[in-house]
Amino acid sequence: MCGIFGIITDREQPLGPILIDAARRLSYRGYDSVGCATLHADRTIDLRKDVGKVDDVAARLDFAAMTGRRGIVQLRWATFGVPSQINAQPHLDSAGEMVGAHNGNVVNNVELRQQFSAEGMIVRSMNDGESCVHAVERHLRRGCDMVEAIRRAYDDLEGDYAFVIGRADDDRLYAIKKSSGLVVGLADGATCISSDLPSILPLTRRIMRVNDGEIVILHPDRVELIRVADGEPIAREAEEIVESMAAAQKGGYAHFMLKEIHEQPQVARELLHLLNASAQVAPFLDRLANARQLYLIGCGTSYHACLLGAVYLAQLAGRPAIPILAPQFIPQGLPTVGPDDVGVFVSQSGETKDVLNALYAARQRGMTVLSLVNVIGSTLMKESEIALPMACGYEISVPATKTFTNQVLAFLYLALRLGKHATAELARLPDLIQETLTAAEPQVNAIAPELAAWDDLYCLGYGATYAIALEGALKLKEITYAHCEGMLSTEFKHGPLSAVREGYPVIFVSGPDDVPLLVSGINETACRGGHTIAIGEDDDRLRANAQTLIVLPSSGPLLSPILAVLPLQLLSYQLSVARGYDPDFPRNLSKTLTVD
């Protein structure tokens, strides 16, 4: 989830301050490096970039002194290539006569870099943003004009991305969109383009949305839109934006948590692209297959992903795995592990101290250290033999949502591959997530007012949905401050059933193969006056027995648990708001726990 911004003006002027401000307004997206490029009337390009935060890099490289008629700034969140000066964006073409930057993932980056080198181009980095520039350069070398070169590059570049590019000998800027955000701003004496609104709004509130498969040509006083499919022009009217800057950063959502819940279809799609293209997956699987004992280690939400991952590995690959909380690993797991064992350490931030403590202890015993981690360049990633990035971008809200979904998806993907199963079915998941969010939101909103009055409730699951019940309960606890206990549904009758009274809420999360067991628990609760809420695929037995049914799309036993967490995320969000709390910043909690 990088950020890009480009601007073209009607005269040579200081662009550095504009580019710095745009970068600051995109920094909430998360990044590890920043770079600026300006293009001058004398056909020269000034490129400055490095690892670090906007203000630090801007001061060190004197971004403020940069001038020109056209400029590009990019914040990079590393996926292809470690955070470094050479991998930072923007990037030049072979001759240094063209410069560009992208947002997104070009999943055939490795193959393209090999092709470009074989064709005589100078490939300087590991980064897929450079591949966007060389893809255009390839077709310019073959005699195409700029628009035609971009059209053909669009077909060469696989994945989801948007990029902006300019040539020293051309007084325009160009951009293209493929399943990654892109919006145009039209100001007096300038036009600009960005991956997100916040960088545009200080300059203008006249904007134009760009759709997938469209090329934008920016002039100082106008923009042209060209359709990639046939090269034909597109007519589109600009619109006026009235929302505040804060709302723009949140994509129009009231809170970052809600925005991040709705980003899950896109980040799931990006993770699948990365896993399918990653050279790290095969050696990761080899370590799992040859482990004497396999541990899945995490805290909180990441531990719940480990629980479900262990179910997937057992069911699909016949591979036993021990999910264990990171602090408990040291007294319980560590005494028995050695060089033949493998630990998969799971963390959103890659800086959680409990997880790192377990990692350091395990490595002293010779254990192989693997990881699933969202933050590129984090301590966990650096300390791992092999790390798979979760491709979620920055997660601002303290409650983890999209990172949990992608952690679980990564485990499911690995389990399928380890068990020699096809992964093609996973391509359905992003659309199923979107379908679930669309259908579940009104259902959740309908029951939220009644549930908001309760300070105590249960969330129950079985098999694969046990981990989902625990995760749903955690979300409800951390942002509503109501006590919600997650539990195996069959354990509810061994004591906690005594808490049920008239109207008492109990949520049952059902997989499609587990309905009979859940129906038994539903009736044990209902006959004692409890309010029974089922989450599962449409089933006559659930409809007949539960007081409320939140219906999931039909997806089968592998994907249904992932979909089931979405209504629980939405419910926790709605109850938090209904109870008057800020779901993004729950009291007593922080995003990354770096203390014991």
The predicted-structure confidence for 126-175, as pLDDT tens digits, reads as follows: 999 999 999 999 999 999 999 999 999 999 999 889 999 999 999 999 99
Residue 31: Cβ-neighbour burial (10 angstroms; 0-12, 13-18, 19+): buried
Which pLDDT band holds residue 591 (cuts at 50, 70, 90)?
Answer: low
In the predicted structure, residue 30 carries a pLDDT above the cut 90: no
Residue-wise pLDDT for 86-99, tens only, equals: 999 999 999 999 99
Query: Residue 593 has what pLDDT?
Result: 63
**CB under 8 Å to 493, separation ≥6 — which residues?**
521, 524
Domain boundaries, the chain: 3-249, 253-421, 429-596
CA 343 to mean position of chain CA atoms: 24
Give the span between the Cα atoms of 334 and 303, in whole angstroms. Answer: 17
Which CATH number is associated with domain 253-421? 3.40.50.10490
Sign of CA dihedral 567, 570, 575, 576: positive
Query: Residue 592 has what pLDDT?
Result: 62
The yes-or-no answer to whether 253-421 and 429-596 have a common fold is yes
CA 334 to mean position of chain CA atoms: 32
Whether 591 is catalytic: yes
Query: Residue 331 has what pLDDT?
Result: 96
In the predicted structure, residue 284 carries a pLDDT above the cut 70: yes
Residue 527: Cβ-neighbour burial (10 angstroms; 0-12, 13-18, 19+): exposed
Which pLDDT band holds residue 596 (cuts at 50, 70, 90)?
Answer: low
In the predicted structure, residue 460 carries a pLDDT above the cut 70: yes
Mean pLDDT of 528-537: 95
In the predicted structure, residue 246 carries a pLDDT above the cut 80: no
Whether 299 is catalytic: no
E strand map for 232-360: 233-234, 239-240, 294-298, 322-325, 342-347
Query: Residue 247 has what pLDDT?
Result: 66
In the predicted structure, residue 259 carries a pLDDT above the cut 80: yes
Give the span between the Cα atoms of 3 and 139, in whole angstroms. Answer: 26
Mean pLDDT of 249-270: 92
What fold does the segment set 3-249 form as a domain?
Glutamine Phosphoribosylpyrophosphate, subunit 1, domain 1 (3.60.20)
At 543, list the tokens: 């409809």
Residue-wise pLDDT for 196-216, tens only, equals: 888 898 999 999 989 999 999
Provide the 3-class DSSP secondary structure of residue 88: coil
In the predicted structure, residue 582 carries a pLDDT above the cut 80: yes
Closest CA to 256 of 399, 391, 405: 399
In the predicted structure, residue 590 carries a pLDDT above the cut 80: no
Residue-wise pLDDT for 335-387, tens only, equals: 999 999 999 999 998 888 899 999 999 999 999 999 999 987 788 998 999 99
Residue-wise pLDDT for 165-199, tens only, equals: 999 999 999 999 997 889 999 999 999 999 888 88
Domain 429-596, what architecture?
Answer: 3-Layer(aba) Sandwich (3.40)
Q: How many helices (H) and strands (E) does the chain have?
A: 19, 25
Which pLDDT band holds residue 8 (cuts at 50, 70, 90)?
Answer: very high
Give the span between the Cα atoms of 187 and 184, in whole angstroms. Answer: 10
What is the DSSP pairing of strand 223-227 with strand 214-218? antiparallel
Query: Residue 248 has what pLDDT?
Result: 67
Annotated catalytic residue, options 53, 353, 477, 591? 591
- The mean pLDDT of the chain is 93
In the predicted structure, residue 552 carries a pLDDT above the cut 70: yes
Q: At what angle do helices 264-277 and 402-418 cross, to 10 degrees?
A: 30
Residue-wise pLDDT for 400-432, tens only, equals: 999 999 999 999 999 999 999 999 999 999 999
Annotated catalytic residue, options 2, 192, 392, 459? 2
